[in-house]
Amino acid sequence: MIAPRKKNEKSTSYKFIDLFAGIGGFHLAFHRLGAKCVFASEKEKYARWAYETNHKKISPGLFASPGLFNDDILKAKPADVPDHDILCAGFPCQPFSQAGHKRGFTESHEDRGNMFFIISRIIQAKRPKAFFLENVRHLENHDGGRTFSLIKKTLQEDLGYRIAYKIVRASDYGLPQHRPRIFIVGFRREDNYPMNFVFPEPKPLRFTMDEVWGGKCGKRVGFTLRVGGRSSSIKDRRNWDSYLVDGKVRQLGPEQGLKMMGFPQSFKLPASKTASMKLLGNSVAVDAVHAVAESMISHLNSYGKCSSLRINIRKGEFELVC
């Protein structure tokens, strides 16, 4: 698992909010980097139970005041969301109406319940220094590419953020699971910081599926955990939760799922195996989020520490010297 902060490691003191929070993969990753969660929102009852059960000890203030652990983001007024430095959200992928595509951030009435625009309105009201959004890899091509085009336009042109995005796999950052997801990070343009954000270099696997199972599996990297379609035959092309271990077919359970997603084995999940696997399938890969979050915080920490700007007029390029 990701090592907790050392006692002498300086806290970042950054505040973050956790939207569409699930069981708190973003929370765990940013907390380990010294950031403080000041607002979270999750509607699903089992996810809310797991979130509070596992994060109440490390973020007691989040659950001490009414409204900070929100159960319906549609009922929260953007201006009432606490001030924060970083907005985190693993938001649902939804189509936009044609009117919304034409109007951009001034979305149509049909789009007002779209979860991306909920995020956009909070960004507009609170102007966080940065955001970290996560979605399925197919977001880029969703609705013929129109969805992602509008997302980029809204974030860059309407809200004024510099963004970077990349398809990231859990296996890129140590976890034995493919799980390709698009990560979108953004930084406030008014901070006048022209340096481009760079995603961290991939890291080797911390362990393989042999360690996940505690036996000979024969696969270094496992299938992506999903929400539905469990219990397919191991020979079925749709299979994702059955493995041949020490010559016997075994089905993934919460114990293996926690390891593959980067959660500690002490993490508590509902008693129902079905509910637990659904929560894990909807979560984020903690190690992947942690690696990118660490780079984001380093990027933020360099604000105001840059000494000069080199300009190459012939090439039209600039380089910030920090």
pLDDT at 110 over 60: no
Rounded-to-integer distance, Cα 149 and Cα 276, Å: 34
The reported pLDDT for the residue numbered 92 is 79
Query: Residue for token digits 């139970």?
Result: 49
Q: Which residue, chain included where needed, has tokens 């969703």?
A: 142
Mean pLDDT of the chain: 86
The whole-number pLDDT of residue 235 equals 87
**Mean pLDDT lowest among 101-115, 130-144, 147-161:** 101-115
**pLDDT for 7:** 40
Indicate the CATH number of 15-202+280-321 among 3.40.50.150, 3.40.50.2000, 3.60.15.10, 3.40.190.10: 3.40.50.150
Q: How far apart are CA 243 and CA 222, in angstroms?
A: 9
pLDDT digits (tens, 9 = 90+) for 260-298: 999 999 999 999 999 999 999 999 999 999 999 999 999
141-193 pLDDT per residue, tens: 888 888 899 899 999 999 999 999 999 999 999 999 999 999 999 999 877 65
Please give the Cα distance from 28 to 250 (Å, whole number).
29
* Spatial distance between the Cα atoms of 121 and 159, rounded to a whole number of angstroms: 9
Active-site residues: which are they? 93
Report the C-alpha gap between 314 and 302 in whole angstroms: 28
What pLDDT, on a 0 to 100 scale, did the predictor assign at position 320?
46
Pick the more confident residue, 229 or 101: 229
pTM above threshold 0.85: yes
Which residues make up the CATH 3.40.50.150 domain(s) of the chain? 15-202+280-321
Confidence of residue 302 (pLDDT cuts 50, 70, 90): confident
Q: Tell me: the pLDDT tens digits for 185-214? A: 999 987 765 568 899 999 999 999 999 999
Contacts with 296 (C-beta within 8 Å, 6 or more apart), sequence order: 86, 130, 132, 185, 197
Judged by average pLDDT, the poorest of 23-27, 90-94, 162-166, 281-285 is 90-94
